[in-house]
Structure 1
Amino acid sequence: MNIDFDKMSGLVPAVIQDGQTGQVLMLGYMNWEALDKTQKEGLVTFFSRSKNRLWTKGETSGNTLHVLSIMEDCDNDSLLIKVKPNGPTCHTGDTSCFGEDDTAKRMAAIQFIARLEEVIQERKAKPSEASYTNFLFNKGVNKIAQKVGEEAVETVIDAVAGKTDTMKGEAADLLYHLLVLLAATGMQLSDVVAVLQERHKK
């Protein structure tokens, strides 16, 4: 990395993003030493302007940020760090320092579905004996389709009965098995979304 620390008197902004959900968690600043420590230890460390020292996120609260990747922008003067957070990021107890509005929650949910689909595709490419997903792949399309049907019926039964608490679990099972079925038949969720987008134009 060739970060230009001179533009802002030795500091560059670092945007922290949840690597799983895509939600922006916080903004901090790093000098060269903070970046070096972050890269070596795998935990996000900032330069605290108020304390005038290096500060590892979570050093007192335990809510650390485990580094997944670090990218620099096109001008080499800011960073995007994707992390796996250990607990809430904000000192208020919120997941993000930018609040918990409905839009952020929806985007986080969408990003998680995308990540889940990636995991399913990874299981298909690199099978694991302990994986339930691989168990389904080994059983074949007919068995997976049967599971989709079963979960759909259970979701409908709970919906009709007004059992929204248990319906959430059944709907989660339905969505997961549908993603597995798509992967087993050589499709991706984006193929289905493309159909919805085309219909939306009409």
Structure 2
Amino acid sequence: MNVDFNKNSDGLVPAIIQDNSTNKVLMLGYMNAEALNKTIETKLVTFFSRSKQRLWTKGEESGNVLNLVDIKLDCDSDSLLIKVTPEGPTCHKGTDTCWNETNEETYGFISTLEETIASRIKEGDSEKSYVASLFAKGINKVAQKVGEEAVEVVIEAKDDNDDLFLEESADLLFHYLMLLQAKGFKLKNVVSVLDRRK
């Protein structure tokens, strides 16, 4: 890896630390060539501490180490993206990230949709909310709706209308997310099962 440590007068490059599983950015540190080499050798992320003016392995006192998974160099060869598996919180203040975020896996729009479903269930206004009205009928009705949508997906898969197939697929996914919540789960629980199977 040909890192340009000479672009800055201090010989340091920024190292963005990202959780390999959740893709959350955990922290930003700085490395010199010695810190990078030690990180690669030990598989524990090591920085050059600007305040202590020495090498510093993350977690050397707290035990909250960052286990190296992968290192990528940016297009200008002067920044690093380091993927890790963290042990414990990353921030010295005890939070998961230095931005006070919870280091949980999210699925973008799907996670937002799950939150919306949960909110509609909690509000329970079955006159204004389709989700609330379906939940009011009980889990059997939610499960039945998933079955109906699954059959419609199969039917549309055999036809040539891609738009209808995608519409029915969206309906199936939406109702499946509802069924998961009716059972007390979210998509992340299913992903965990798939991850164990790999």
Shift of residue 99, structure 1, vs aligned partner: 1.8
Between the aligned partners of 2:65 and 2:80, the Cα distance in structure 1 is 18
Shift of residue 92, structure 1, vs aligned partner: 1.3
1:158-197 aligned at under 5 Å gives the runs 159=182, 167-168=183-184, 171-172=185-186, 176=190
1:11 aligned residue: 12
Using a 3 Å threshold, how does the CA distance of structure 1 residues 49 and 110 change in structure 2: closer, same or farther? same
* 8 Å Cα contact 1:4/1:76 also seen in 2: yes
2:66 aligned residue: 65
Between the aligned partners of 2:188 and 2:53, the Cα distance in structure 1 is 51
RMSD: 3.3
* 8 Å Cα contact 1:21/1:110 also seen in 2: no
Shift of residue 173, structure 1, vs aligned partner: 8.0
2:44 aligned residue: 43
Structure 1 portions without partners, runs of 5+: 114-147, 160-166, 181-202
Amino acid in structure 1 at the alignment position of 2:82: I
Q: Which has the larger radius of gyration?
A: 2
Which ranges of 4 or more aligned residues in structure 1 deviate by more than 4 Å? 155-158, 172-175
Using a 3 Å threshold, how does the CA distance of structure 1 residues 78 and 92 change in structure 2: closer, same or farther? same
1:22 aligned residue: 23
Shift of residue 67, structure 1, vs aligned partner: 0.5
TM-score w.r.t. length of structure 1:
0.56
Percent identity, aligned pairs only, is: 56
Structure 2 portions without partners, runs of 5+: 111-145, 148-174
- Deviation track 1:40-93 (CA, whole Å, cap 9, x = no partner) reads 000000000100000000000000000000000000000000000000000111
1:125 aligned residue: none
TM-score w.r.t. length of structure 2:
0.57
Using a 3 Å threshold, how does the CA distance of structure 1 residues 69 and 158 change in structure 2: closer, same or farther? closer
Size of the aligned set, in residue pairs, is 129
